[in-house]
């Protein structure tokens, strides 16, 4: 069954910015706006894409980085108005669409083969 036409109509009004293509295993840098009181500033988050979920403007993606010795994950909605820019740093070679096994890997094991352009 296709998506309800009414839902489609509403989702068409939600703007999704043009971002480069990326998939699980890629290393990307996300620049997003942060509100601190009345001030707005930009912050960057660089990490490995674990998964992309959903389609259309409700889609999200999860990226993971190691900060200090702690793994940090962030989920971004693709249509979030706070998203400023996405830069693909590395294109990884992975065999699955969701690389949750990556969470259990540390140190030298936590490397993803890079696809050379």
Partner 1 sequence: MTSVYDENGKNIPCTVIQAGPCIVTQVRTKETDGYEAIQLAFEEKKEKHTTKALQGHFKKAKTTPKRFVAEFTRFEEKKNYGDVLTVDVFVEGEYIDVVGTSKGKGFQGVVKRYNFKGVNDATHGQHNRMRAPGSIGASSYPSRVFKGMRMAGRMGGNRVKLINLQVVKIIPEKDVIIVKGAVPGPNNSYVKIERWS
List residues binding partner 1 (CB under 8 A). 4, 6-7, 9-11, 13-14, 57-58, 77, 79-82
The DSSP symbol for 96 reads S
Nearer to partner 1, 4 or 69 (CB): 4
Nearer to partner 1, 13 or 69 (CB): 13
In the complex, least distance from residue 72 CB atom to partner 1, rounded to whole angstroms:
21
Helical H segments across the chain, by residue range: 5-12
Nearer to partner 1, 14 or 93 (CB): 14
In the complex, least distance from residue 58 CB atom to partner 1, rounded to whole angstroms:
5
Under 8 Å between Cβ of 102 and 90: no
In the complex, least distance from residue 77 CB atom to partner 1, rounded to whole angstroms:
6
State both tokens at 70.
């702690």
- Side by side, the strands of the sheet bearing 70-77 are 70-77, 60-67, 39-53, 27-36, 83-90
């Amino acid at each position: 069954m296709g998506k309800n036409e009414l839902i489609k109509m509403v989702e068409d009004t939600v703007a999704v910015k043009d971002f480069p293509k990326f998939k699980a295993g890629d290393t990307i840098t996300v620049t997003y706006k942060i509100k601190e009181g009345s001030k707005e500033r930009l912050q960057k988050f660089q990490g490995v894409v674990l998964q992309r979920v959903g389609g259309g403007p409700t889609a999200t993606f999860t990226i993971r980085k190691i900060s200090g010795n702690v793994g940090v994950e962030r989920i971004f909605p693709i249509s979030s108005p706070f998203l400023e820019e996405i830069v693909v740093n590395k294109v990884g070679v992975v065999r699955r669409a969701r690389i949750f096994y990556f969470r259990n890997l540390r140190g030298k094991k936590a490397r993803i083969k890079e696809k050379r352009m």
